[in-house]
């Protein structure tokens, strides 16, 4: 083979290697956030509160892990339920959050997370009734928590009665038994704040913290707070 | 019985080749595409994978925890085990042992002609050495790309390129792939290629085991790479339990990957140790063995003795993850400390597996370029053996803050600091050899000098880490990260590069381009230091390892480190360009002995004939008589008596 | 010839030694005065202060070694280069291979230095009560009064008062992915905030409810791994007021990178009032928590059916469980 031929061979092989690496990046170590970012800043007027509605479901029912427990969020522009836990929020604004809890509950591993912390007024409402702490060892227990550690925000989401016909797969409709939890909190300055659930709800994993608890878009995500 | 790599041209040994006149060539012995090669290995791997996966799903998909979690780690483990098995079956690694097991006469491995020998199960140590170069570069560049991804994410403390789970997956994969690469980067390519040439042997002691160690190494690559499609593992290369028990199926790739790589490490170490001890040419006494061979002997001892601990530890973890045993889960009677102890009991000797071969290369190369004998040869050899021995008694320094028995800490502080005495010997040897020398600054020499520069920083920061009070500040942060990059990358990888530039002319008969080599060296040295030195400060300022967010005031240092890292990555592209250009595209034939070396490996023909030496040389002295007028000849190559049957190293009973 | 050689030798060695000595003294002095006082992590606690001194001391030892090798290598590159016009022929003969004086003195010097450093480290470790590092469940280097405080912490009567020189016991509970803190001397309340009184010996008792974490209070210079079902004790004495950062320094899963919070060292009086008001505010929650213990048995199975399908863990003691089998008090 001539030198030019060998050069072409090497460059060709190199391009193949680059293509393979690129394919590897896109397939396995994809940058950015799978599922995208749910934007709550569009059309937001300064000083106005933002409405954010989410639901939790015992089994997502679709995608690569249909048995996994998951959060879903209501797209503010289309009103559709989307499996996406990265939310873009305006800075220094009040977020009025509504969570429809469709999952059943259990005692918390650490009762510390049974307290409502960091919300405006230090309380949340459960189906219209205000509460500031919930003993997860009694009643229907706590299904999940919505906790943003860096903001000191934590709200226990009281589980539905597991003897009821719990909604099996997402998205759940309000005809299924559910608890409506509402609370408000104020976003800080711009930054990225992770949020997660503190109920070890990853079924089939040691300490219940694997699987959905350790994967973005199920039981944890980021609040991207922007100016 | 002899093996086919034996020199049939040689009168003495050809007599023992059994007369073979088979009417029909067995399938495994054919050459050409209708035989066993990389292609059949891939087919075997795919079939094995599919079968294993089916089996795992058939057996285990109904288990409660698997049905609940929706992830079947049993199927993934079986798939990878059968994939490895199919790969080895396909390449032909199992022909010989399987035939022996069923009592048939074992087939000989075919010696292919031309380049196709490089994609076959070859028992020629020179072919295996070349195969290993490609193998370790595959690991190195995969891990390097992942490192670029890590530094990209750390450009900004709050804006994320990768999501949190993806970032940990990248960090873990980078660490594991690089550690696996580093165990073999010198032992594999240069060790296998050069040990027989340097001790005057015709082959390794166990050529099939040698070939096995390479093909199992590549199987290990496939296994550890499979972690990415499986969703990665979140534990870093240290794989601490019980996080590993909690992780998803990517963890199976990690545990099994270390087991598979561990097989190769044990096989390679055992083979090299036996070869060095038993296959030295007549006259190659222990005081004449080249210092590189000494370093490989020490490394081989560590590979053979330390790796089984990792192998067993990994299998325990695999059982925890699949069969619900509880070696590492405290609540069910195990202990989270057990993995830490087992892992580091392997892991610290492992660190020296990654340092000693680099010392050996440096010790071997500097006399050549100083035109002076190696200074304090015996101290160097003793230092390597001393490091190897002591390395088994220091592992708990990784656990100073873990809650181990507190009075263990002064003891392990002492042993850890003691190990810097034999490690320091290599500096005595290096500085002594430089003393009043006539230094030729060729590219390999520059890399050796860089090893002294980098390893000094790496070694001294190791003393900081071994001091328990200071360890409180620096443990688990970027300081320790920088420390081990200085020793492994700054030491081992620089030494490997020096060794490549030095020995490639012997291995391929082609010279690496000097200008590109200089560009490669200087960019690598400068950007390596600019990448990793700031990390000491980043660590002191409180950034823990493996985090995707960090304090805002550290962004400047992190960005500086990241940009340098990208340029460091570019310097590896320079190497790649030089390598392809000089070795393949526009090769320049090398002189027979371009560096005027006195080493035995340069005294045989280039390209090295398949039997290495026409006659087994009789060694007369050590290979370091540089600058000595009237120095004795290194060896008697032909005028001396031909090696008599039975006494020569190449004609024992076949051990394979 | 022999004469000329030995002259050369003294001349080279003298040059190198002089350059090394001058540079070492300058760099060490510069380091001691310019960098030393700013060596992280500062002087907020006794352990930070002690470890800052240790780090500085090691630097003062290390810099001459670095400079020695670098000066030597630089000298070699400059003087013994084959490219230098008139470069002398390399030294040969037995002296080029071995030199007893050089070898023995190298080994003796490095051995003495290393043994001295090991002794120095041990002394510093002992006199600083473990230097802020985790000492495991049975610490052997403790501040006065620590044992008494530990014994008292398990009783409901345990208390702490300002300006009493009592050791304050703080339990650090690591869980995926947050540290929480319990104060046994204040009724065992649990909180996500870490507030400490100044000028007080603190005993951090670090444990985990799941995987291995590591409690790293950066400015306090305290680091102790959190292992499930193990109590890892670390001591320090607070010296200055201010805030500090707590980070997890052992990889513990997806949110390891965000497992941090900041804490405060406040005056003893301010601490007292914070602790008492938090104790009151959290009284309801404290009643729902398991009683204070050094370690807790996490429910390995998680909320509803975990990895081990053989059912439930049999706890050593029903009162120590965090998790699903904790019955209502």
Encode pLDDT of C189-227 as tens digits. 999 999 999 999 999 999 998 899 999 999 999 999 999
Rounded to an integer, what distance in angstroms lies between the CA atom of residue C293 and that of residue C285?
16
| Inter-chain residue contact C302 with A135, CB threshold 8 Å | no
* pLDDT at residue B486 tops 60: yes
CB atoms within 10 A of CB C147: 13
| Inter-chain residue contact C103 with B376, CB threshold 8 Å | yes
* pLDDT at residue A153 tops 50: yes
Rounded to an integer, what distance in angstroms lies between the CA atom of residue B88 and that of residue A57?
46
Write down the pLDDT at residue B513: 94
Touching subunits for chain A (3+ Cβ pairs under 8 A): B, C
* pLDDT at residue B47 tops 90: yes
Residues 197-226 of C with CB under 8 A from A: 209-211
Write down the pLDDT at residue B29: 62
| Inter-chain residue contact B434 with C76, CB threshold 8 Å | yes
B138 reaches A (C-beta below 8 A):
no
C13 to each of A104, B436, C102, C104, C244, how far by Cα in Å? Answer: 80, 10, 12, 17, 50
The average confidence (pLDDT) of chain B is 88
* pLDDT at residue A149 tops 70: yes
∠ CA(B252), CA(B143), CA(B524), 5° rounding?
A: 160
**Beta strands per DSSP E along B584-627:** 618-619
> What is the separation, in whole angstroms, between the first and last Cα of chain B?
10
A20 reaches B (C-beta below 8 A):
no
- For a pLDDT cut of 90, what percent of chain C falls above it? 58
* Inter-residue contact B343 to B239 (CB < 8 Å): yes
| Inter-chain residue contact C40 with B376, CB threshold 8 Å | no
Backbone φ/ψ region at A34: left (φ over 0), alpha (ψ -120 to 50), beta: beta
Lowest-confidence region among A173-177, B651-655, C39-43? B651-655
Q: Looking only at Cα atoms, what is the longest distance across chain C?
A: 95
Give B233→chain A minimum CA distance, Å.
Answer: 10
Tell me the residue length of chain B.
Answer: 656
Write down the pLDDT at residue A104: 84
Query: Coil, helix or strand for A177?
Result: coil
**Of C303, C307, C313, C315, which to mutate for an interface test with A (greatest number of A Cβ within 10 Å)?**
C303
User: Taking residues B525-544, what's their average pLDDT?
Assistant: 95
| Inter-chain residue contact C258 with B549, CB threshold 8 Å | yes
Query: Using CB atoms, which residue from B69, B146, B161 is nearest to A204?
Result: B69
Write down the pLDDT at residue B180: 93
| Inter-chain residue contact B246 with A214, CB threshold 8 Å | yes
* Inter-residue contact A87 to A192 (CB < 8 Å): no
- B108-144 pLDDT, tens digit per residue, is 777 777 788 888 888 899 999 999 999 999 999 999 9
**Of A34, A59, A103, A111, which to mutate for an interface test with C (greatest number of C Cβ within 10 Å)?**
A111
- Provide the pLDDT confidence category of residue B611 given band limits of 50, 70 and 90: confident
User: Taking residues C159-180, what's their average pLDDT?
Assistant: 92
Write down the pLDDT at residue A134: 87
- Provide the pLDDT confidence category of residue B455 given band limits of 50, 70 and 90: very high
In chain B, residues with a C-beta closer than 8 Å to the C-beta of A33 are: 160, 163
| Inter-chain residue contact C305 with B64, CB threshold 8 Å | yes
DSSP state letter for B600: G
| Inter-chain residue contact A214 with C327, CB threshold 8 Å | no
The set of residues, in sequence order, having a beta carbon less than 8 Å from that of A147 and lying 6+ positions away, is A113, A153, A154, A155, A195, A196, A197, A198, C178
In chain C, residues with a C-beta closer than 8 Å to the C-beta of B236 are: 251
User: Taking residues B510-520, what's their average pLDDT?
Assistant: 95
Task: Answer positive or negative: Cα dihedral of A213, C178, B150, A191.
Answer: positive
| Inter-chain residue contact B165 with A203, CB threshold 8 Å | no
> What is the separation, in whole angstroms, between the first and last Cα of chain C?
95
- Provide the pLDDT confidence category of residue A171 given band limits of 50, 70 and 90: confident
**Beta strands per DSSP E along A14-141:** 38-39, 50-57, 70-74, 81-82, 86-90, 94-101, 124-126, 129-131
In chain A, residues with a C-beta closer than 8 Å to the C-beta of C284 are: 133
B333 reaches C (C-beta below 8 A):
no
Main-chain phi, psi angles of B586, to 5 degrees: -135, 70
The two structure tokens encoding residue B489: 């990358």
How would DSSP label each residue in C152-176?
HHTSTT----TTS-PPEEEEEEEET
Give the residue from A36, C15, C45, C248 showing the smallest Cα distance to B243.
C248
Residues 351-410 of B with CB under 8 A from A: none
Query: Using CB atoms, which residue from A135, A154, A207 is nearest to C306?
Result: A207
Any long-range contacts for A42-48 (C-beta under 8 Å, 24+ apart)? A42/A76, A42/A77, A44/A90, A44/A93, A46/A90, A46/A93, A47/A93, A48/A93
A203 reaches B (C-beta below 8 A):
yes
* pLDDT at residue C119 tops 90: yes
B71 reaches A (C-beta below 8 A):
yes
* pLDDT at residue C153 tops 50: yes
In chain B, residues with a C-beta closer than 8 Å to the C-beta of C172 are: none
* pLDDT at residue B643 tops 50: no
| Inter-chain residue contact B375 with C258, CB threshold 8 Å | no
In chain C, residues with a C-beta closer than 8 Å to the C-beta of A199 are: 303
Query: Using CB atoms, which residue from C97, C248, C306 is nearest to B375?
Result: C97
- For a pLDDT cut of 90, what percent of chain B falls above it? 72
B358 reaches C (C-beta below 8 A):
no
* pLDDT at residue A54 tops 80: yes
In chain B, residues with a C-beta closer than 8 Å to the C-beta of C73 are: 431, 434, 449, 452-453
Strands A191-196 and A220-226: antiparallel
User: Taking residues C29-44, what's their average pLDDT?
Assistant: 91
How would DSSP label each residue in C298-320?
E-TT-SSS-S-TT-----S-GGG
C176 reaches A (C-beta below 8 A):
yes
C310 reaches A (C-beta below 8 A):
no
In chain B, residues with a C-beta closer than 8 Å to the C-beta of C134 are: 401-403
Write down the pLDDT at residue C203: 94
User: Taking residues C249-257, what's their average pLDDT?
Assistant: 93
Q: Which one is predicted more confidently, C326 or B76?
A: B76
- Provide the pLDDT confidence category of residue C321 given band limits of 50, 70 and 90: low
Rounded to an integer, what distance in angstroms lies between the CA atom of residue A108 and that of residue A115?
11
Write down the pLDDT at residue B30: 63
- Provide the pLDDT confidence category of residue B65 given band limits of 50, 70 and 90: confident
- B274-319 pLDDT, tens digit per residue, is 999 999 999 999 999 999 999 999 999 999 999 999 999 999 999 9
Q: Find residue C182's DSSP bridge partners.
A: C171, C190
| Inter-chain residue contact C72 with B434, CB threshold 8 Å | yes
The two structure tokens encoding residue C186: 């204040």
User: Taking residues B77-93, what's their average pLDDT?
Assistant: 94
User: Taking residues A116-134, what's their average pLDDT?
Assistant: 91
Rounded to an integer, what distance in angstroms lies between the CA atom of residue B469 and that of residue B381?
33
Task: Answer positive or negative: Cα dihedral of B518, B495, B137, B558.
Answer: negative
* pLDDT at residue C281 tops 60: yes
Rounded to an integer, what distance in angstroms lies between the CA atom of residue C90 and that of residue B434?
9
∠ CA(B551), CA(B557), CA(B562), 5° rounding?
A: 105
**Of A8, A19, A25, A29, which to mutate for an interface test with B (greatest number of B Cβ within 10 Å)?**
A29
**Of B70, B177, B229, B584, which to mutate for an interface test with A (greatest number of A Cβ within 10 Å)?**
B70
Give B56→chain A minimum CA distance, Å.
Answer: 17
| Inter-chain residue contact B70 with A205, CB threshold 8 Å | no
A194 reaches B (C-beta below 8 A):
yes
Write down the pLDDT at residue B8: 43
Main-chain phi, psi angles of B310, to 5 degrees: -65, -40
DSSP state letter for B603: G
Give the residue from B88, B101, B109 showing the smallest Cα distance to B31.
B109
* Inter-residue contact B484 to B351 (CB < 8 Å): yes
Rounded to an integer, what distance in angstroms lies between the CA atom of residue B85 and that of residue B81?
6
Write down the pLDDT at residue C316: 39
Give the residue from C73, C65, C74 showing the smallest Cα distance to C24.
C65
Does the interface ipTM go beyond 0.90?
A: yes
Cis peptide before A140 (omega within 30 of 0): no
* pLDDT at residue A61 tops 90: no
Q: Which one is predicted more confidently, B9 or C60?
A: C60
Q: Which one is predicted more confidently, B591 or B32?
A: B591
* pLDDT at residue B208 tops 80: yes
* pLDDT at residue B19 tops 80: no
- Provide the pLDDT confidence category of residue B169 given band limits of 50, 70 and 90: very high
* pLDDT at residue B2 tops 50: no
In chain A, residues with a C-beta closer than 8 Å to the C-beta of B158 are: 190-192
Q: Which one is predicted more confidently, B96 or B1?
A: B96
The two structure tokens encoding residue C61: 């030892």
Write down the pLDDT at residue B639: 54
Strands C201-208 and C168-175: parallel
Write down the pLDDT at residue C309: 56
B539 reaches C (C-beta below 8 A):
no
Touching subunits for chain C (3+ Cβ pairs under 8 A): A, B
- B548-605 pLDDT, tens digit per residue, is 999 999 999 999 999 999 999 999 999 999 999 999 999 999 998 999 999 999 988 8
A139 reaches C (C-beta below 8 A):
no
Give B248→chain C minimum CA distance, Å.
Answer: 11
* Inter-residue contact B448 to B454 (CB < 8 Å): no
Rounded to an integer, what distance in angstroms lies between the CA atom of residue A98 and that of residue B518?
64
Domains of chain C, earliest start first = 2-80+102-127 (no CATH), 146-299+315-322 (2.60.40.420)
Q: Which residue of C has its CA nearest to B476?
A: C249
- Provide the pLDDT confidence category of residue C308 given band limits of 50, 70 and 90: low
Q: Which residue of B has its CA nearest to C76?
A: B434
Write down the pLDDT at residue B31: 63
**Helices and strands of chain C, counted as H and E runs:** 7, 12
Domains of chain B, earliest start first = 37-111 (no CATH), 122-585 (1.20.210.10)
Residues 62-81 of B with CB under 8 A from C: 63-65, 68-69
| Inter-chain residue contact B165 with A216, CB threshold 8 Å | yes
SS (H, E, C) C98-122: CCHHHHHHHHHHHHHHHHHHHHHHH
Rounded to an integer, what distance in angstroms lies between the CA atom of residue C319 and that of residue B248?
32
* Inter-residue contact C225 to B401 (CB < 8 Å): yes
Q: Which residue of A has its CA nearest to B232?
A: A28
């Amino acid at each position: 083979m001539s030198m030019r031929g060998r050069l072409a061979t090497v460059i060709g092989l190199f391009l193949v290697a680059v293509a393979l690496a690129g394919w590897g990046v896109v397939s396995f170590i994809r940058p950015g956030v799978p599922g995208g970012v749910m934007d709550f800043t569009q059309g937001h007027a300064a000083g106005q509160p933002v409405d954010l509605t989410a639901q939790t479901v015992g089994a997502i029912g679709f995608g690569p892990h249909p048995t996994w427990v998951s959060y879903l969020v209501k797209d503010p522009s289309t009103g559709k339920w989307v499996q996406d836990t990265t939310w873009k929020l305006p800075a220094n604004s009040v977020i009025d959050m509504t969570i429809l809890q469709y999952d059943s509950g259990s005692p918390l591993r650490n009762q510390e997370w049974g307290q409502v912390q960091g919300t405006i007024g230090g309380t949340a409402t459960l189906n219209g009734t205000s509460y500031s702490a919930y003993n997860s060892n009694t009643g229907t227990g706590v299904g999940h928590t919505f906790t943003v550690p860096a903001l000191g925000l934590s709200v226990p989401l009281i589980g539905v009665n597991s003897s009821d016909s719990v909604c099996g797969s997402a998205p759940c409709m309000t005809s299924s038994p559910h608890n409506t939890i509402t609370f408000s909190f104020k976003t800080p300055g711009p930054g990225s704040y992770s949020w997660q659930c503190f109920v070890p709800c990853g079924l089939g994993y040691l300490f219940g913290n694997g699987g959905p608890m350790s994967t973005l878009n199920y039981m944890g995500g980021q609040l991207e707070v922007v100016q | 019985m002899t093996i086919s790599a034996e020199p049939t041209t040689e009168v003495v040994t050809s007599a023992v080749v059994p007369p073979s006149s088979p009417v029909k060539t067995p399938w495994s012995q054919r050459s050409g595409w209708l035989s066993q090669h990389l292609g059949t290995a891939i087919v075997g791997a795919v079939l094995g994978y599919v079968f294993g996966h089916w089996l795992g799903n058939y057996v285990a998909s109904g288990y409660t925890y698997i049905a609940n979690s929706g992830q079947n780690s049993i199927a993934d483990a079986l798939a990878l085990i059968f994939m490895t098995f199919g790969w080895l079956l396909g390449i032909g690694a199992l022909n010989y042992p399987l035939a022996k097991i069923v009592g048939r006469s074992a087939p000989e491995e075919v010696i292919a002609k031309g380049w196709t020998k490089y994609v076959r199960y070859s028992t020629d140590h020179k072919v295996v050495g070349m195969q290993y170069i490609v193998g370790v570069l595959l690991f190195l560049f995969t891990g390097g790309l992942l490192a670029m991804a890590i530094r990209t994410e750390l450009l900004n403390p709050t804006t994320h390129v990768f999501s949190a789970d993806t970032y940990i997956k990248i960090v873990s994969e980078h660490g594991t792939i690089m550690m696996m690469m580093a165990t073999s980067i010198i032992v594999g390519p240069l060790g296998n290629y050069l040990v027989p040439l340097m001790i005057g042997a015709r082959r390794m002691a166990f050529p099939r085991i040698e070939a096995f160690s390479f093909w199992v190494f590549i199987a290990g690559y496939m296994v550890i790479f499979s972690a990415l499609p499986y969703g990665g593992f979140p534990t870093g290369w240290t794989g601490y339990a019980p996080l590993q028990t909690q992780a998803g199926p990517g963890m199976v790739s990690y545990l099994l990957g270390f087991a598979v790589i561990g097989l190769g490490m044990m096989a390679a170490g055992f083979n090299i140790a036996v070869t060095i001890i038993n296959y030295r040419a007549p006259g190659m006494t222990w005081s004449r063995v080249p210092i590189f061979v000494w370093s490989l002997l020490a490394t081989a001892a560590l590979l053979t003795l330390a790796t089984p601990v990792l192998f067993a530890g990994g299998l325990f973890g695999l059982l925890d993850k699949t069969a619900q045993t509880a070696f590492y889960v405290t609540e069910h009677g195990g202990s989270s400390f057990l993995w830490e102890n087992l892992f580091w009991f392997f892991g610290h000797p492992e660190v020296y597996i990654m340092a000693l071969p680099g010392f050996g290369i440096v010790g071997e190369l500097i006399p050549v370029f100083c035109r002076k004998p190696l200074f304090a040869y015996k101290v160097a050899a003793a230092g390597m053996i001393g490091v190897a021995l002591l390395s088994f008694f220091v592992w708990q320094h990784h656990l100073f803050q873990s809650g181990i028995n507190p009075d263990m800490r002064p003891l392990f502080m002492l042993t850890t600091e003691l190990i810097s005495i034999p490690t320091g010997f290599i500096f005595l040897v290096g500085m002594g050899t430089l003393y009043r020398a006539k230094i030729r600054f060729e590219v390999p020499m520059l890399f050796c000098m860089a090893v002294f520069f980098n390893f000094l920083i790496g070694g001294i920061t190791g003393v900081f880490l071994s001091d328990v009070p200071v360890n409180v500040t620096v443990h688990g942060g970027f300081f320790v990260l920088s420390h081990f990059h200085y020793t492994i990358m700054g030491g081992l990888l620089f030494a490997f590069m020096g060794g490549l530039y030095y020995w490639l002319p012997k291995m391929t008969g082609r010279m690496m381009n000097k200008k590109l080599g200089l560009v490669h060296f200087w960019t690598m040295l400068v950007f390596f230091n600019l990448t990793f030195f700031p990390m000491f400060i980043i660590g002191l300022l409180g950034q823990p390892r493996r985090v995707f967010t960090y304090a805002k005031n550290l962004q400047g240092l992190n960005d500086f480190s990241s940009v340098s890292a990208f340029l460091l990555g570019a310097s590896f592209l320079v190497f790649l360009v030089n390598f392809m250009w000089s070795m393949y595209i526009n090769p320049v034939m090398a002189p027979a002995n371009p560096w005027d070396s006195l080493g035995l490996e340069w005294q045989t023909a280039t390209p090295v004939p398949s039997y290495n030496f026409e006659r087994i040389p009789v060694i007369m002295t050590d290979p370091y008589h540089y600058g000595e007028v009237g120095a004795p000849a290194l060896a008697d190559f032909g005028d001396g008596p031909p090696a008599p049957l039975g006494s020569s190293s190449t004609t024992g009973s076949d051990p394979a | 010839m022999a004469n000329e050689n030995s002259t050369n030798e003294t001349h080279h060695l003298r040059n190198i030694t002089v350059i090394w000595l001058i540079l070492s003294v300058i760099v060490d002095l510069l380091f001691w005065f310019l960098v030393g006082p700013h060596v992280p992590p500062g002087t907020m606690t006794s352990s930070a202060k002690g470890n800052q001194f240790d780090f500085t001391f090691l630097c003062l030892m290390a810099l001459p070694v670095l400079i020695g090798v670098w000066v030597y290598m630089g000298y070699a590159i400059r003087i013994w280069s084959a490219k230098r016009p008139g470069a002398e022929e390399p030294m040969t003969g037995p002296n080029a291979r071995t030199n007893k004086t050089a070898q023995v003195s190298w080994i003796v010097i490095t051995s003495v230095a290393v043994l001295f450093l090991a002794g120095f480290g041990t002394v510093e470790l002992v006199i600083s009560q473990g230097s802020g590092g985790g000492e495991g469940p049975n610490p052997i280097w403790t501040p006065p009064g620590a044992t008494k405080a530990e014994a008292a912490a398990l009783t409901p009567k345990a208390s702490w008062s300002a300006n009493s020189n009592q050791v304050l016991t703080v339990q650090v509970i690591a869980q995926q992915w947050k540290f929480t803190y319990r104060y046994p001397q204040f009724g065992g309340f649990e909180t996500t905030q870490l507030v400490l009184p100044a000028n007080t010996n603190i005993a951090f008792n670090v444990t985990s409810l799941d995987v291995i974490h590591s409690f790293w209070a950066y400015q306090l210079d305290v680091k102790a791994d959190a292992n499930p079902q193990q109590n890892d004790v670390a001591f320090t004495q607070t010296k200055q007021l201010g805030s500090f950062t707590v980070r997890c320094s052992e990889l513990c899963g997806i949110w390891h990178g965000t497992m941090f919070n900041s804490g405060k060292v406040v005056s003893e009086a301010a601490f007292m009032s914070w602790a008492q008001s938090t104790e009151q505010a959290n009284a309801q929650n404290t009643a729902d928590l398991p009683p204070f213990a050094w370690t807790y048995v996490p429910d390995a199975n998680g909320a509803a059916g975990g990895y081990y399908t053989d059912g439930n863990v049999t706890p050593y003691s029903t009162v120590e469980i965090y998790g699903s089998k904790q019955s209502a008090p």
